Amino acid sequence: MLGKGIREGLRRRTPALTRPGQRVRRRATALELGYLLARRLGLTSLREVLLSRRNVAFDRAVSRCLNQDVDALVVRSTACIRSLRRARALGVLTVLDAPIMHQRSLSDLLAREAAAFPSLSDSLVDLKAEAVAESLDRELDQADIIIALSNAHAHSFVENGVDSTRLLLAPLGVDTELFAFRPRPSRVAEHPPQVLFVGQITQRKGLAYLINAMDLVRQAQPDVILKLVGSAHGDILSQLPPYVVWHDAVAREHLAAHYHQADVFAFLSLAEGFAQTPLEAMACGLPVVMSRQAYGPDGPVRDGVEGFVLDARDVGGVAAKIVQLLADEATRQGMGAAAASRAREFTWERFAGKVRRDVLTVLAKRRSTSHGTR
Residues 90 and 214 grouped into a single domain: no
pLDDT at 31: 78
Same domain, 60 and 131: yes
* pTM, entire model: 0.88
CATH code for position 154? 3.40.50
The predicted-structure confidence for 103-154, as pLDDT tens digits, reads as follows: 889 999 999 999 999 999 988 876 666 667 788 899 999 999 999 999 999 9
Task: State which H helix or E strand residue 264 sits in.
Answer: strand 264-267
- Look over the chain and give the mean of its residue pLDDT values, rounded to a whole number: 88
The count of residues in the chain is: 374
Quote the pLDDT of residue 4: 47
The per-residue pLDDT for 131 is: 67
Give one DSSP letter per residue of 33-102, joined into a string: HHHHHHHHHT-HHHHHHHHHHHHHHHHHHHHHH--TT--EEEEETTS-HHHHHHHHHHT-EEEEE--SS-
Residue 181 is assigned to a structural domain of this protein: no
Shared domain check, 261 and 238: yes
User: Within this chain, do residues 209 and 331 fall inside the same structural domain, yes or no?
Assistant: yes
The CA distance from 280 to 180, in Å, is 9
pLDDT at 152: 93
Is residue 363 in some structural domain? yes
Residues 89 and 214 in one domain: no
Quick check: 202 and 119 in contact, CB under 8 A? no
Let me know whether 53 and 137 are in one domain.
Answer: yes
Per-residue model confidence as pLDDT tens digits over 70-88? 999 999 998 899 999 999 9
- DSSP character string of 193-248: -EEEEES-BSGGGTHHHHHHHHHHHHHH-TT-EEEEES-B-TTGGGG--TTEEEE-
Please, which residues have CB within 8 angstroms of residue 29's CB and are 6 or more apart in sequence? 10
Q: What is the CATH number of the domain that holds 311?
A: 3.40.50.2000
Q: Does 362 lie in the same domain as 311? A: no
* Strand ordering across the sheet containing 93-97: 72-76, 93-97, 145-148, 167-169
> Which three-class secondary structure state does DSSP give residue 296?
coil
Any bridge partners for residue 310, and if so which? 291
136 shares its domain with 198: no
Identify whether residues 277 and 135 lie together within a single domain: no
Q: Is the pLDDT of residue 9 over 50?
A: no
Instruction: Provide the domain count of the chain.
Output: 2
Q: What is the pLDDT of residues 325-354, one digit of tens each?
A: 999 999 999 999 999 999 999 999 999 999
> Is 183 a member of any domain?
no
> 300: Cβ–Cβ under 8 A, 6 or more apart, which residues?
171, 278, 279, 282, 306, 342, 343, 345, 346
- Structural domain includes residue 137: yes
What is the average pLDDT across 287-313?
95
Q: Is the pLDDT of residue 21 over 90?
A: no
Same domain, 90 and 158: yes
In a domain, 179, yes or no: no
> Would 16 be classed as within a structural domain?
no
Please indicate, yes or no, whether residues 297 and 224 belong to a single structural domain of this protein.
Answer: yes
| Domain interval for residue 300 | 194-346
Query: 102: number of CA atoms within 13 Å, CB side?
Result: 21
87 lies in the same domain as 151 = yes
Q: Is position 55 within any domain?
A: yes
Q: Which of 27-31, 190-194, 229-233, 296-300 has the lowest mean pLDDT?
A: 27-31
Whether residue 5 lies inside any domain: the answer is no
